[in-house]
Amino acid sequence: MTQLPETTERKLGLVIDLDTCVGCHACVVACKGWNTENYGAPLSDQDPYGTPSGTFLNRVHSYEITPKEGTAKLVHFPKSCLHCDDAPCVTVCPTGASYKRVEDGIVLVNEDHCIGCGLCAWACPYGAREMDAAEGVMKKCTLCVDRIYNENLPEEDREPACVRTCPAGARHFGDLGDPDSDVSQLVAERGGMDLMPEQGTKPVNKYLPPRPKDVLDEVDILAPLLATPETAEHRNLSGFLGWLDRTLEKI
């Protein structure tokens, strides 16, 4: 059914910390690996040893930001499906293959019903959906729906592959519909933001902006030489040691 649910019981999604992401692309590789070996059609590559292209559900961009003052900085920017509340990709689907789950808000594609028209990819402002060139069906992030509820996996592995693998801890998974959840707290604390809010998609995934860089106070390079020499008065020792200190200083 391609009509969106009024509300979802939970809003499972990711919080991505642009401050800590180091741009290693481990999440990209973990995503491709898991989603090629498990749920749905594998993510194919075309001409991998020539001029390669392939299907990815998670891609890491890098942006240079030049502030008004100070030096430019580099921000690595992982991007995958944002599991929008108002997902335009779902409502445009003519076959009912695309849907948003009421129980957890995950946006999925029923690959057996997908005709591969590509309209949902056109409707997505984030480039989260990619048509697989080998299978002719639309692929997208499933939030590793086959991991997070999978009781055959150890409990610590029941989170999306990208989150599990991130060596910098830049990706967080949880229920963004619950204001008390860790991810919601993180969003509140760090000012989590929506991408392209003007598109009206109401994304569930949030991005944490980079923290301001530490600023050192102005320090004179001659400081060690200019420092006042220590005196017995400064040391202010008491008792016998104090008497000795003061006496020796006088000599």
Which residues of this protein are in contact with another protein, per CB under 8 A?
Answer: 1-4, 18, 28, 51-56, 59-68, 72-75, 77, 79, 88, 90-97, 113-119, 121-127, 130-131, 133, 135-138, 193-200, 207, 209-210
As measured in angstroms, the least distance from the Cβ of 151 to another protein is 33
Q: How far is CA 26 from CA 59, 79, 100, 157, 165, in A?
A: 10, 13, 27, 16, 7
Tokens of 10: 């939970």
Nearer to another protein, 124 or 145 (CB): 124
**Residue closer to another protein, measured from CB, 148 or 165:** 165
Which secondary structure element, helix H or strand E, spans residue 98, and what is its range? strand 98-100
Least distance to another protein from the beta carbon of 91, Å?
4
Nearest to 120 by CA among 139, 142, 144: 139
**Closest CB to another protein among residues 52, 229:** 52
Residue with tokens 């006088």: 250
**Minimum distance from CB of 82 to another protein (Å)?**
12
Least distance CB 42 / another protein (angstroms):
15
Q: How many CB atoms lie within 10 A of CB 108?
A: 20
Q: Shortest distance, CB of residue 8 to another protein, whole angstroms?
A: 17
Q: Using the minimum distance from each CB to another protein, give the nearer residue, 95 or 231.
A: 95
| Closest distance of CB 152 from another protein, Å | 31
| Residue with smaller CB distance to another protein, 18 or 148 | 18
Residue 55: which residues within 8 A CB-CB, separation 6 or more?
43, 44, 45, 130, 131, 132, 133, 139
Left (φ > 0), alpha (ψ -120 to 50) or beta: where does 8 sit?
Answer: beta
Q: How many alpha carbons lie under 13 Å from residue 14 in its C-beta half-sphere?
A: 28
Nearer to another protein, 74 or 241 (CB): 74
